[in-house]
Amino acid sequence: MRNLPSNDEEYNALLERIVKGAEYLENPLIKPDDYRKGMVLYDQLYESAIAYRAAKSNHETNRVRTLSA
C-alpha cells in the first residue's frame, strides 16, 4: 500500500523525489536491475502523488458544493 502525503508540504517533497528519481533513471550508464528497481519506486511515488491530488481535488469540490448549497 502506498503512503499518501498528509499535507501540501509533504506533497511538494514527494514531487521533488519524483524529479530526482527521473533524473537518476535518465542515466544511460545505470544497470538494468537498478533501473527496474528505480522504476518500481518511481511508479509508486507517482501513484501516491496522483492519489493525493485526486483526494485533495475531491475534498475541495465537496467543500465548494457544501458552501454553495
For residues 14 and 45, is the Cβ–Cβ distance under 8 A? yes
Query: Euclidean distance between the first and final Cα of the chain, in Å?
Result: 36
User: 3-class DSSP state for residue 62?
Assistant: helix
Q: Where are the domains of the chain?
A: 8-68
pLDDT, tens only, 8-59: 999 999 999 999 999 999 999 999 999 999 999 999 999 999 999 999 888 7
- Nine-digit cell string for 14: 514527494
Provide the 8-state DSSP code for 29: T
Cα distance between residue 37 and residue 34, in whole Å: 5
Put simply, whether the predicted model's pTM sits higher than 0.85 gets the answer no
Burial zone of 46 (CB within 10 Å; 0-12 exposed, 13-18 middle, 19+ buried):
middle
